Structure 1
Amino acid sequence: MASLASLSIYTVPGRAGRAESVKAPRRRRMAVVRAKVREIFMPALSSTMTEGKIVSWTTAEGDRVSKGDPVVVVESDKADMDVETFHDGIIAAVLVPAGGTAPVGAPIALLAESEEDVALAQARAQALSKAQGEETPPPHAAATAPPTMAPAPATVTAPTNGIATPHAKKLAKQHRVDISNVVGTGPNGRITAADVEAVVGIQPKPKAAPPPPPAARSAPPAGIPLVAAVRQPAVLPPVPGATVVPFTSMQSTVSRNMVESLSVPTFRVGYAIKTDKLDALYEKVKLKGVTKTLLLVKAAGMALAQHPVVNASCRDGKSFSYNSSINIAVAVAIEGGLLTPVLEDVDKSDIYLLAQKWRALLKKTRMKQLQPSEYSSGTFSLSNLGMFGVDRFDAILPPGQGAIMAVGASRPTVIADKNGFFSIKNEMLVNVTADHRIIYGADLAAFLQTFAKIAEDPESLTL
């Protein structure tokens, strides 16, 4: 009946006014409550970023900002980027000053909606600061020694009526001890051999220590490293007189990626390439901004188009992906770290367009202003140290890629042809490190043969 009555409120035309009175509270409950104080959080500027460092604040406490205004410059693990605000308001309190770090998602500033709310935001900032100061790590159980229990007083037992073990009776007879006067400490006051020995004054024999467990027996003496132990990061004492400098965010990321890469099974293949024609082409195009590294990048892109398995990647350890785009990451050393800006669709771009893209990427790299898509989309990597006179080196495979090419300098080399005649040719040695889970020796050898064919007859690079 109640349901019918409530239904009639909405269906009977004569009771429309009553229906409106019933609906009104719902409209009041749906009223929008506007926040007076908002938090500005540390953003995640890349997929590998776990914390960020405040480079500088572009605004100060008390400044009024609008939605979309940059308020702070944050150093991620790859670049320095401006962080914008999503709301209008006043910067009421800076929680993390310039030079400080905060984990991703942590508040770094408070934004007040109006002048009247600034005091509320500052009080909230003081409460947050006080709460962080009062946080203390929980005590470790191993560091707290258990309380020492006082030994229970020995129970004094009256002399028994000769209740003793056979061994105790034998000892009493040997030492002419009246066993009826011995106080027994055994179960129910029974006299043991130790009780008789105590009356006679015989010191008890020390008990042999139990054999150590197998792990303890196999432990080497102090000072000898445990070869079979699980490897853990070694914390070595500082060298006297040395200055300890903590890693920057970029160096921490490089270190973490390199350690991760060492868990991937890899193999390396070297290949010698004649570079006389490549060197001649470089002399023609370098005035147009084309570097030798770009010629190698273009040659690698064309070879990868014919051998897509070398452009594949394994990211989960269970499967691999054939990448539809050939994006080559090029290692660039900058002050305090290493970045790998990515040239996308290398096989579809001519070398002059690649040179234009590379100049823009290089400028942003040196200013640490690369966007995440400009350094994390690589499918193959190339590292060239030939300009430093390096003959050969092995590169470490970046996480999530199938292979990386390490290029050395061109050197004059004496070469014998099939007829036994000798000539001097310029040769360059390239070493490729590949993920052995998805790439095998035959695949890599075929790729290097194609790469060498293109580099030794490089006219196709300018088409």
Structure 2
Amino acid sequence: MATEILMPALSPTMEEGTLAKWLKKEGDEVRSGDIIAEIETDKATMEFEAVDEGILGKILIAEGTAGVKVNTPIAVLVEEGESVDAVSSAKVPEPQEPADEAAPAQGAPKEAPAPAAKAPAAQAARSEGERVFASPLARRIAKEKGIDLAAVQGSGPRGRIVKADVEGAQPSAAPAAKADAAAPKAEAPAAAAAPVAAPAASAASVAKLFADRDYEEVTLDGMRKTIAARLSEAKQTIPHFYLRREVALDALMAFRADLNAKLESRGVKLSVNDFIIKACAVALQQVPNANAVWAGDRILRLKPSDVAVAVAIEGGLFTPVLRDAHQKSLSALSAEMKDLAARARTKKLAPHEYQGGSFAISNLGMFGVENFDAVINPPHGSILAVGAGIRKPVVGKDGAITTATMMSMTLSVDHRVIDGALGAEFLKAIVENLENPIAMLA
């Protein structure tokens, strides 16, 4: 009997994707767990594994097709011995119409809470002892990570649990999901009370303004749409305020040079950014009330320091998360950051590698930017904007004029999560860690 293979939801926010590459061709045998295609989501290129077995009878969606909606049939699987001709008349789905340009802003609130709330529902729907349908690879990963498959919502055909569903799940995901499930209920009154925004200009009206000028129209890909929606949501709903400090880097630069000389034989070279990550991770432990996120009708204070770091890629950016950064050495943080950044640039990060964290760092110092204000990535409580280290004249402790390498930092803070005095205490801890790097590592 022929079985349709559907476009999967490979991330919590995925509504459509691009079928980048078929790794199987028509007539090939397919086993459960085989990687049959590569699919571009809004943030990454991910492998799609088969959940059923048979022969790939017909490919319905060609390589390179963009805008394929989740749950759209992309291929047909037939049983061994079943004629491929039996599915030759299968209807190819109509191409998806491009979404209206206003759609990202309207869809912004649909971020992560909805998928998170599904896990308890999935668990409640399965009675004790009821069979859980999951691919062999998903079962193996779940066993290694200690995940209860009964609490995981499957995105495969007929709700089957596949690799992507368990990769981002955590053993303690159920309590967090329960808290998240309550958030949308509390958000409804706030949304009702919000002022009505003026309608955004349509593509046609904007294009009309430039009808007599030469221009190139750039179609938004999934990543750009997601960035537009997330940052529009952030600036419209998060009450930002900003705290600014300068850091004297001379002691850190000397300490870094000494460490790099000692680590050269191991092929390790620490960057200033590695020290910034460590300083922020330690500061989150020193000021634990600042290690928090906004959860709709409550604040969640995290115990570990999970630090997100912005990585620029062509057409957008990722914020991979360094988990438990306060417990890792500088060399371990440096190696992990290099690996995450390299895979981010090729869009090979899994969703759990760029989702989460309570705090982020955006460093534009390498581009010569002296200072800037970063936009908070919800649900984070704050983000640190880091500028370039510049040699400047300063007044020394003895009152004499001297020079020092100074770096400007701006902490953007969500006032719902962190008040002014708490934000100032957090930024002070970061500054002191950077100006006293040896003490930070003690």
Residue 265 (1) aligns with residue 244 (2): no
Quote the offset at 1:233 in angstroms.
Answer: 2.2
Distance in 2 separating the partners of 1:88 and 1:229:
51
Secondary structure at 1:408 match in 2 = strand
2:84 aligned residue:
118
From 412, 431, 439, the equivalent of 1:433 is 412
Q: 1:460 to 1:229 in 2, by over 3 A?
A: closer
Quote the offset at 1:243 in angstroms.
Answer: 1.4
Secondary structure at 2:294 match in 1 = coil
Residue 231 (1) aligns with residue 222 (2): no
1:322 aligned residue:
301
Distance in 2 separating the partners of 1:257 and 1:118:
44
Letter matched to residue 408 of structure 1: G
Quote the offset at 1:461 in angstroms.
Answer: 4.2
Distance in 1 separating the partners of 2:11 and 2:60:
22
When structure 1 is superposed on structure 2, of 347-356 and 283-292 the one drifting more is: 283-292
Matches within 5 A, 1:307-318: 307-316=287-296, 318=297
TM value normalised by structure 2: 0.71
Q: 1:41 to 1:283 in 2, by over 3 A?
A: same
From 386, 405, 408, the equivalent of 1:407 is 386
Aligned length: 330
Distance in 2 separating the partners of 1:387 and 1:308:
30
When structure 1 is superposed on structure 2, of 52-61 and 286-295 the one drifting more is: 286-295
Instruction: Map Cα deviations across residues 115-140 of structure 1 (whole Å, 9 max, x no partner).
Output: 424233333x22x54xx59x9xxxxx
TM value normalised by structure 1: 0.68
Letter matched to residue 419 of structure 2: Y
Instruction: Map Cα deviations across residues 428-458 of structure 1 (whole Å, 9 max, x no partner).
Output: 1100111111111100111111111111111
Letter matched to residue 231 of structure 1: A
Residue 283 (1) aligns with residue 275 (2): no
**Alpha-carbon contact 1:295-1:461 (below 8 Å) kept:** no
Instruction: Map Cα deviations across residues 229-274 of structure 1 (whole Å, 9 max, x no partner).
Output: 8322222116332111211111111111111111211111111111
Residue 92 (1) aligns with residue 57 (2): yes
Letter matched to residue 275 of structure 1: L
Distance in 2 separating the partners of 1:414 and 1:323:
40
2:168 aligned residue:
none
Give the alignment's Cα RMSD to 1 decimal. 1.9
Q: Flag structure 1 segments of 5+ consecutive residues without an equivalent.
A: 1-35, 136-227
**Alpha-carbon contact 1:37-1:117 (below 8 Å) kept:** no
Which one has the largest radius of gyration? 1
Distance in 2 separating the partners of 1:229 and 1:300:
38
**Alpha-carbon contact 1:350-1:461 (below 8 Å) kept:** no
The structure with higher relative contact order (CA 8 Å, sep 6+) is 2
Matches within 5 A, 1:61-460: 61-100=26-65, 101-123=67-89, 125-126=90-91, 129=93, 132=94, 230-235=197-202, 236-237=206-207, 239=210, 240-262=213-235, 263-286=237-260, 287=264, 288-316=268-296, 318-417=297-396, 419-460=398-439
Q: Flag structure 2 segments of 5+ consecutive residues without an equivalent.
A: 98-194
Instruction: Map Cα deviations across residues 55-74 of structure 1 (whole Å, 9 max, x no partner).
Output: 11111222221111111100
Instruction: Map Cα deviations across residues 371-404 of structure 1 (whole Å, 9 max, x no partner).
Output: 1111002221001111111100110100110000
From 50, 68, 86, the equivalent of 2:15 is 50
1:190 aligned residue:
none
